[in-house]
Every structure is written in C-alpha cells, then in structure tokens.
Structure 1
C-alpha cells in the first residue's frame, strides 16, 4: 500500500475515526485503525464490538492495499506533522509516514484478526444536523452518569411520523425535546435507547455536516448515523426505559417568567455560597424573584431580580447544579417556570419574551428540594 494526502485531511480523518477506539480494548487488534487504499480513495475504520466508525477521503493512491496500525499513536503522529503532503507506504511488517523531513516507522497489526464492521442498517430518515445537535445538547444534561444504572445513562429517542422526541432522566430531573425529521416511511413508529455519551459524540462530530441520516435496524439492536461521507454505528442499550412522560403535570396553575440571562447570572452568584447538597431557594412574588442560599453561621447570599407571576406566590428550592445546567440549555430571552405545589416537580420551558406564549418543544422538569416547612 502506498498513498499520499494533505496532512490536514489525514489528521482530521484519523482523529475522527480514532475517537471511537476503546481505552481498554477487549482484544489488542481493536486498538488499531484499519486503512484500506483503493482507486483514488482511502477508507479508515475503527470498531470495539459496540461502536464502529468509518470514513473515506480522496488521496493519490499509488498502490492499493490494507493495513492495521495503532490508532491513537497514528492520530498523535498525524497531528504533530508539519502542514505538507504526507506519504504513507507499507514496508514489510511496518508502515512508513513521511512528511517533509519527518519520518516515522510503525509496526503493523495482523489485519486478518480484525473483525468485520457491522453493516449500516436501512436509513430510517433524515434530520437537520444542526437541529439534532442542539436537541442532543439540551437533553443529555439530564442523563445519568451512574453506570450502575445503565438504562438511565441512555437517551430514549422516539420516532412517530415526522416527530422525533428525545428524553432523558437521572431520577432528579427530566429533559424532553421534540423536533421534526423526514422519515423514509410515513407510518414509522418506533423507539430506541442510545448511550448519552455516544449520542453526544455523534452530535458534536456529525451535526455540522448538513443533513444527518439515521439508520434503524429491524431487530432494534443497532443504530447508525451518516453525514458527509462519515458513518458510525452503535449497539443500543438493552432494557425497558421508565415511562417518564407521565411525570409532566397536566395542569400548572402557577407560572412565572424570568429573563434568562438575569437568572443565569443570579444563580451563578448566589450558588457560590451553596455548599454541597445545599439548595438555592427561590421565592416568586408578583414582579420579583428573590434568590438566597446559605443558612445559620455559614456564608449567605441573596439577590432579587424582576419576574412576572401568574397565580399564588410560591417558594421552592432546587439543587444549584441541576438548575444551572437546565437554564444553560435555553436560548430564548425568557424562561417560564410552571408549578402545581411547592413539593411537586417544576417544569422549565422557553418564552421569547415576558408576555409571550410557552414554547413546548423543549421542557426541563426539575425535582425540588423539600424545605423544612413544606
């Protein structure tokens, strides 16, 4: 095998493919990247039995061939090379990388031991990559990071006609985002559970490439994503996801609207004195939201900002980290808090302005911390 390609093209391709490599591969060959040079193109692949990645790029191929080489080492080398054409050629049991005056010799791995990558399932539909990336960023904040509960480390994606719904929860909060997509079949109705970190990687690396194709297997075991000549597949999380939609209240008699930027800054300042497991208290009255944290002889902080209230005054308390993460997911000028009673979950949603209507495509449900008098 022998080919040459611009250093920037090679480094970007190798870096993206190497992202899927496991830090602790089950077998040594799965630490490698598989390079296949054909007529005018080079294919790069990685696989760890759970996640696969594959892309192709144009190159000046002098000799066709296949080689397996350490992926992380190759990525480190490619990023360190000067900005110039790179030539890669096999030399017996090694490959040689040459770029200007730099030259590296790497041992190859037995490509015959490398497993075959799973085929991309049938394309279930297409979604705008940017909209999908934003939806994922809004939802994954509520996914659990506790691997002892693998079900909750996933994001449930429901497909119903032209509507795609993403849901996640860690038992203390819940995020739900709806967006439109273009299904291949008008009557498509299914759901999958994808690891949040996998979905986040897909959104970050494929979301900017325009349309994103989503592939769904008939056996409901595998999901695939493809955009801009890059594709990745992932095994789905096995298990029954809790029916969390029912946690959203049917009616909320108390509503409050707050300017997003003002609230984000106020929460950031007040939470400086909120020690671990200490909540921020929020007292909503007509025209004002008062925030405070800290008790007794410890440090204390308070701040009041403008708010619009509909319904009875209400005082609630929230985990400051969960509250900050939720507020950071909103892009509108105002956010709306909807309440039933103080001990019940609150729903945070978007509003374009103080008197505007609630936008329900993204909702963030937050469990309050019970106060002593509640």
Structure 2
C-alpha cells in the first residue's frame, strides 16, 4: 500500500474513527485501525463488536492495499504532524508515515485476524442533518449515564410513517422530540433503543451534508443494529451500533400535563439566573422557584455559609383560578440548566400542576405565543423542606 493524503483531512478522519476504539479491548486486535486503499480513496475503519465506524476520504493511491495499525497511536501522531501531505507506505511488517521532515514507523497488526465489519442495514429514511443534530442534542440530555441500568442510557427512536420521534429518560426527567423525515417506504413503522452516547457523537459528526440516513435492521439481516451515515469533515461517514436490550419504560403519558399554573420568562435570562444562584447550592439540594403574580424568585443556600436569590420578571397565569395552586417548587439545578440549554427559543413556559409533581418545560417563539409542541422536556420536582 502506497498512498498520499492531505494532512488535515487525514487527521480529522483518523480522530473520528479512533473515537470508537474500546478503552480496554477484549482482545488486542480490536485496538487496531484498519486502512484500506483502493481506486482513489482511503477507507479507515474501527470495530469493537458493538460499534463500527467507517470513513471514506479522497487519496492519491499509488499502490492499493490494506494495513492495520494501533488506532490511538496513529490518532496522536496525526494531530501532531506538520501541515504537509502525509504519505503512507506499508510493507509486510511496518507502515512508514512521512510528513514533511517527520518520519514515523508503525508496527503492523495482522489484518487477517481483524473481525469483519457488519454490513449497513437497508436504509429506512433520511432527515436533514442540521435538524437531526439539533434534535438529538435536545433529547440526549435526559438520558441516563448509569451503565448498571442500560435501558435508561438509550434514546428510543420511533418511526411512524413520516414522523420520527426521539425519546429519552433517566427516571428523573424526560425529553421528547418529534420531527418530520423522509421514509424510504410508506407506512413505515418500527422502534429501536440506541445508545445515547453513540447517537450523540454520530449526530454531531455527520452535519456536513444535507441529510443523515438512518438504517434500522429489518429483523432478517443485520438484526439488532442501527446504521447512520452522512457527510462530515473530509468524507463520508458510516456508523453501526448494536441496539440496547430491554423494554423502554412507557413515559409518554407523563408528558400530557394539564397545568394549574404556567410561568413564561425569557429563556436566556432564567438560564443565567439559575447558573448564578446554583453556585451556592449544596450537593443534592434544590434551587427553589417562588412564583408570584408578575415575577419568579430563584434562591439556593449552603446552610448558613452562603445564600443567593434573584428575581426575574415573568408572565404568570393561574389557570385554575382562586388561590394559587403552586407558589414554590424545587428543581435539581443541573436538570433545570440542561432543560433550558436544550431550548432554541427566546422564551420558555413552565407548566405546573402541584408542588412535587412533574413540571413540563416547553419553548415559546414569543411571550404571547403557543408553546412549541414538537419538543417537550419534563422534570421531576424535588420536595422542599417543611
């Protein structure tokens, strides 16, 4: 194998593929990054039996072939190279990398021992890349991080004809995003539970083209897999990952909140206020929101050592009438910050039924408009002392 590639394109491609390499590979060969040169292209791949990553970039191919080298080492070397074309030459035992006056020799791993990468399932449909990236980011904030409860670390993808739904929960908060997409077939209907971390990283990295293609396994070929493909910096990216097992909890009904009290405020204003006030909050304690007629007050404390409070103008609607049904509630400050950061609207509406009951957070295009129905974020409120 003899190839020449642009340094920046190669470094970006290697870094993306290397992100999927296991930290503690079950067998040493899985630490390898596979390079395959053919025609006028170079394909870089990694696989750990759970997730596969593959990127195709343009290259000057003087001699076709393939080589397997340490992925993390190549990634570190690629980042440090001078801004010159990088030339790879592989023989039976080593790969020589020359870039400007820098020269590296890497030991080759046995290509014949490397596992076969899974085939992409048949394409299920496409969604605009910028919309997909934004939607995934809004939902994954509610996914769990506890690997002992794997079903909560996933994002449930539901396909119902031309509607694509993304749903995540860690039991203390939930996020639902619904969007229109372009299915490959009419009356398509399926669901899959995808690892949130993999979905998030792939969505961010495939925003360079017009659309991202989703490929859900059809139950016959590639069972238990989802594939994603799209354009990123330097080339075409393809990723497959095994779906998570287990039944995702039925939480959609918790999104249907009929509020007794609604509060509308500027998103950026309340977000910055929460960040300031929560600086003095003790771990596992709440930021309290006190609801008044035309404003809200946020406060937190660390015993007698530090206290913080801040008031914000708000539009408060006592839907139930009579005495205010909700006058003070407690939020986990990180959950509230995540929910507000996920919004892309100038205003936000909080919908409350009663203290201690779930709160629905929705974006507002303007303070007197209707809440956006395609994105809902629910936060379980914390009990206030006394």
Deviation at 1:303, TM superposition (A): 1.2
Q: 2:271 aligns with which of 258, 264, 271?
A: 264
SS at match of 2:108: strand
Bigger mean CA deviation after superposition, 15-24 or 104-113: 15-24
Q: CA RMSD in A?
A: 1.3
CA shift digits 1:51-104 (9 cap, x unpaired): 001121221111111111111111111121111111111133111111121111
Correspondent of 2:226 among 223, 226, 230: 223
Look up the SS of the partner of 2:79 in the other structure: helix
The equivalent of 2:32 in structure 1 is 32
2:349 — aligned with what? Answer: 336
Q: Distance in 2 between matches of 1:51 and 1:178?
A: 26
Q: In the alignment, is residue 276 of structure 1 matched against residue 283 of structure 2?
A: yes
| Correspondence for 2:66 | 66
For residues 266 and 141 of structure 2, the distance between their equivalents in structure 1, rounded to whole angstroms, comes to 21
Partner of 1:364: 377
Partners of 2:225 and 2:91 in 1: how far apart? 38
Q: Which consecutive residues of structure 1, in runs of 5 or more, have no partner in the other structure?
A: none
Aligned length: 373
Deviation digits for residues 284-335 of structure 1, max 9, x if unmatched?
1221101111275232111111011111352111111111111111111110
TM (norm. structure 1) is 0.97
Could you tell me how far 1:39 is from its partner in structure 2?
1.6
Question: Per-residue deviation at 1:241?
Answer: 0.4
Q: 1:314 aligns with which of 307, 327, 346?
A: 327
Q: Deviations over 1:117-166 (max 9, x none)?
A: 00000000000111111111111111111111010011111111111111
- DSSP-derived class of the 2:305 partner: coil
CA distance in 2, matches of 1:150, 1:296: 36
SS in 2 for 1:358: coil
CA distance in 2, matches of 1:259, 1:3: 55
The residue that corresponds to 2:298 in the other structure is 291
Aligned runs of 1:75-90 on 2, under 5 Å? 75-90=75-90
Indicate the SS of the match to 1:12.
helix
CA distance in 2, matches of 1:291, 1:36: 57
What is the Cα deviation at residue 224 of structure 1? 0.2
Query: Could you list the per-position Cα deviations for residues 224-245 of structure 1 after superposition, in whole angstroms to 9, with x for gaps in the alignment?
Result: 0011221010000011000010
**What are the ranges of 5 or more consecutive residues in structure 2 without an aligned counterpart?**
319-323
The aligned runs of 1:1-374 (5 Å cut-off) are 1-219=1-219, 220-228=223-231, 229-294=236-301, 297-311=304-318, 312=324, 314-373=327-386
Distance change (3 Å), C-alpha of 1:291 and 1:113: same
Secondary structure at 1:234 match in 2? strand
CA–CA distance in structure 2, aligned partners of residues 346 and 2 of structure 1: 60
Q: Distance in 2 between matches of 1:5 and 1:124?
A: 33
Whole-angstrom distance in 2 between the partners of 1:292 and 1:99 = 57
